[in-house]
Amino acid sequence: MLGASLIAMISINTVGCASGQAAEAQSSVKDTQKGSNQEGEMIELEFWYSWQDKVAENNQELTEKFNETVGKENNIRITAEYQGSYDELHTKLKSAFIANEQPAISVMEIASIKSFADAGMIEPLENYISDEKESNFLPGLMDNSYVDGKLYGVPYLRSTPIFYYNKTLFDQAGITSAPTNWEELASTSKQLESIGVKGFGFLNDIWHFEAYTQGNGGNIVNADETEAIFNQEPAVEAVEFLKEGIEKYNFKYYSGNNASDTRTTEIMNQKIGMWVDSTGSLNNTLDIAGQNGYEIGTAFIPCGKEYSVPTGGCNIVMTSKLTDEEKEAAALFINFMTEEEQVVYSHKKTGYLPTTISSTTHPEIEALYESTPQFKVAVDQLQYGHGRPMNKAYGEAYNVYINALDQIFTTDVKVQDTLDKAAMEATKLLQESK
């Protein structure tokens, strides 16, 4: 189908000639790609990624590993380039398409896959990902990988929000276990007041509010994503619980442009005892705790009625304006980055989820969970996980919601009235985009 392609399916006669990394990446590619670029000109491609710290280190280290193994054997060199937050990367990617300067490969926040697929900016991956490899990804991570039945992205650095707590402060306050529901969260937060610290510190983060609302049996939008339902009882109860927590139970709401940084500083200085954050922040959080002499615990997010958690993070995608040869080179990189050895490395390096079924029983991961059980919480919680809304107007719609939330938590507006008004505006946005 693709003529002189880059991607060699590894046969009995050729396995001995390829490195383990090359063989593994190449064998994940569908049968339609055959041949190699070992004698051709160097193919140089860009890979765009988000976030710094451990995540950036992970992306740079794995890209270099590819270049020294699979890339070297196939005359491919990938340059990994940091592009800011997911929103910043997405904005740059759209601009790059207009200028015809887009990268070949990019991470993409999972809720944005449909928008980019509908715009023709990313390539379907059916011809580049083997059926065996596709079926090995954890089912709880695949909801946002398909658009109209086609595979457009595969799980890479994937996450759920999880519950963090300062075990050292818990010990000082005589608290012996993490809260499991809202009632326990309120009482635990109040108990931390006895040692002069705030209990539960929360941000105005849509992902977190998806978790709080779903954990109370509700949702932010309806099933077909045409109506905002954050003004219905389960969502309203979640907001009222948090507002009451500020007033009565030693909760702290962080608002403003630097809210996340402020909370991080207070976590580091042991000014708050509990919070929700991405599992992708786990390794950095553990490092900070170790450097500052306290211990961190993790647990499922306390729920109102039932455990439920949105998945998040990024899939890895291929852009669409590539030559066949470039697509095959990009496919080799995507397969390499999502093979088991790299999955295990990324999980240990960052705290992001292991993305494949087989990796969850890998000896290195089993040993990690034995020595550092905080890592296992997100994997166990994934049984309650599901995808995020993919309506292209969801970003605009949830901005209406979080603006309403900020009013609720910082002023005396009526909760129901404020959410009703915001839901009408958000619904209009969702319906106009269909």
pLDDT at 7: 37
Considering the domain boundaries, does residue 248 fall inside one?
yes
Is 337 in the same domain as 219?
no
Share of the chain above pLDDT 70, in %: 91
Is 147 in the same domain as 173?
no
Residue 29 pLDDT grade (very low, low, confident, very high; cuts 50, 70, 90): low
Is 427 in the same domain as 396?
yes
Average pLDDT over residues 180-193: 98
Considering the domain boundaries, does residue 6 fall inside one?
no
Average pLDDT over residues 170-198: 98
Share of the chain above pLDDT 90, in %: 89
Contact assessment for residue 70 and residue 328, using Cβ atoms and an 8 Å cutoff: no
Is 214 in the same domain as 110?
no
pLDDT at 28: 62
Considering the domain boundaries, does residue 262 fall inside one?
yes
Is 296 in the same domain as 402?
yes
Report how far residue 404's alpha carbon sits from residue 115's, in angstroms, rounded to the nearest whole number.
Answer: 25
**Residue 290 domain boundaries:** 161-310+391-432
Considering the domain boundaries, does residue 236 fall inside one?
yes
pLDDT at 14: 31
Is 153 in the same domain as 35?
yes
Average pLDDT over residues 170-178: 98
Select the more confidently predicted residue: 154 or 36. 154
DSSP string across 41-67: PPEEEEEEE---HHHHHHHHHHHHHHH
Tell me: pLDDT of 165 over 80. Answer: yes
- Report pTM: 0.87
Last residue of a domain, one of 348, 376, 404: 376
Residue 270's CATH number: 3.40.190.10
Is 426 in the same domain as 339?
no
Number of domains in the chain: 2
Considering the domain boundaries, does residue 381 fall inside one?
no
Is 60 in the same domain as 136?
yes
pLDDT tens-place string over residues 253-279:
999 989 999 999 999 999 999 999 999
Select the more confidently predicted residue: 20 or 357. 357
pLDDT tens-place string over residues 54-64:
999 999 999 99
Is 179 in the same domain as 150?
no
Report how far residue 154's alpha carbon sits from residue 134's, in angstroms, rounded to the nearest whole number.
Answer: 8
Considering the domain boundaries, does residue 66 fall inside one?
yes
pLDDT at 26: 59
pLDDT tens-place string over residues 294-347:
999 999 999 999 999 999 999 999 999 999 999 999 999 999 999 999 999 999
Last residue of a domain, one of 333, 349, 376: 376
Total Cβ atoms within 10 A of residue 100: 7
Helices (H), 150-195: 167-173, 182-192
Is 301 in the same domain as 248?
yes
Is 317 in the same domain as 418?
no
pLDDT tens-place string over residues 10-19:
232 333 334 4
Instruction: Please list the helix, strand and coil fractions of the chain in percent, rounded to the nearest 5, in that order.
Output: 50, 15, 35
Considering the domain boundaries, does residue 110 fall inside one?
yes
Please list, in sequence order, all residues whose beta carbon lies within 8 angstroms of the beta carbon of residue 261, skipping any fewer than 6 positions away.
Answer: none
The whole-angstrom distance between residue 127's C-alpha and the CA centroid of its chain comes to: 25
Is 197 in the same domain as 251?
yes
Tell me: pLDDT of 83 over 80. Answer: yes
Considering the domain boundaries, does residue 386 fall inside one?
no
Q: Which element (helix H / strand E) includes 331? A: helix 324-337
- C-alpha distances in Å from residue 266, one per residue of 174, 211, 255, 259, 424: 21, 23, 14, 11, 36
